Amino acid sequence: MAERGDREAFVTLATNDTYALGCLVLGNSLRQRAQTTRKLVVMITSGVTQPMRNQLSRVFDMIYDVNLLDSRDAANLQLLGRPDLSVTFTKLHCWRLTMFDKAVFLDADTLVLQNVDELFDREELSAAPDAGWPDCFNSGVFVFRPSEETYDSLLKFAMSQGSFDGGDQGLLNMYFRDWATKDIAKHLPFIYNVVSQAFYSYLPAFTQFKDFVKIVHFIGATKPWHHPYNTATKEVTPLPESGHNKDYLQIWWDIFMTLVQPTLDPSLREQMGGLVGELAALSLQSGVTCGGSQAHLSEQERKLNWERGQVDYLGADKFDNIKQKLDQSMKGPGTEGVDFSSTPFKGTSSSISISVSSKAKAPNPKK
**Residues 255 and 301 occupy one common structural domain:** no
Decide if 77 is inside a domain: yes
Arithmetic mean of pLDDT over the chain? 81
pLDDT of residue 273: 60
Q: CA-CA distance, 354 to 234, in Å (whole number)?
A: 49
Which among 319, 326, 317 has a CA at the least distance from the CA of 352? 326
Alpha-carbon distances of 65 from 40, 44, 91, rounded to whole Å: 14, 5, 12
pLDDT of residue 334: 52
Q: 13 has which bridge partners?
A: 43
pLDDT of residue 266: 67
Sign for the pseudo-dihedral over CA of 326, 331, 334, 335: positive
**Which SS3 state, helix, strand or coil, does residue 176 take?**
coil
Phi, psi of 343 (to 5 degrees): -115, 120
Decide if 357 is inside a domain: no
Decide if 352 is inside a domain: no
**Residues 265 and 317 occupy one common structural domain:** no
**Residues 50 and 136 occupy one common structural domain:** yes
| Digit-coded pLDDT (tens) for 199-257 | 667 888 888 999 999 999 999 889 999 999 999 999 999 998 888 999 999 999 999 99
**Which SS3 state, helix, strand or coil, does residue 359 take?**
coil
Decide if 118 is inside a domain: yes
Alpha helix (H) ranges present in the chain?
Answer: 17-28, 50-57, 74-80, 148-161, 168-175, 198-201, 203-209, 246-255, 268-272, 274-280, 299-307, 319-330
Decide if 366 is inside a domain: no
pLDDT of residue 276: 75
**Residues 158 and 274 occupy one common structural domain:** yes
**Residues 149 and 228 occupy one common structural domain:** yes
Which among 60, 178, 186, 177 has a CA at the least distance from the CA of 121? 186
Q: pLDDT at residue 120 above 50?
A: yes
Which residues lie closer than 8 Å to 157 by C-beta, 6 or more apart? 171, 174, 175
> C-alpha 200: how far from its chain's center?
21
Q: Which of the pair, 326 or 220, is modelled with greater confidence?
A: 220
Which among 132, 142, 75, 101 has a CA at the least distance from the CA of 3? 101
Domain at 242, CATH number: 3.90.550.10
Decide if 365 is inside a domain: no
Q: pLDDT at residue 83 above 70?
A: no
For the chain, the domain total comes to 2
Domain that holds residue 271: 4-290
3-state SS, 43-95, equals: EECCCCCHHHHHHHHCCCCEEEECCCCCCCCHHHHHHHCCHHHHHHHHHHHHH
pLDDT of residue 356: 32
**Residues 239 and 314 occupy one common structural domain:** no
Q: pLDDT at residue 170 above 50?
A: yes
Q: CA-CA distance, 6 to 10, in Å (whole number)?
A: 11
Least confident stretch, 55-59, 117-121, 284-288: 284-288
Q: Which of the pair, 71 or 367, is modelled with greater confidence?
A: 71
Q: Which of the pair, 320 or 138, is modelled with greater confidence?
A: 138
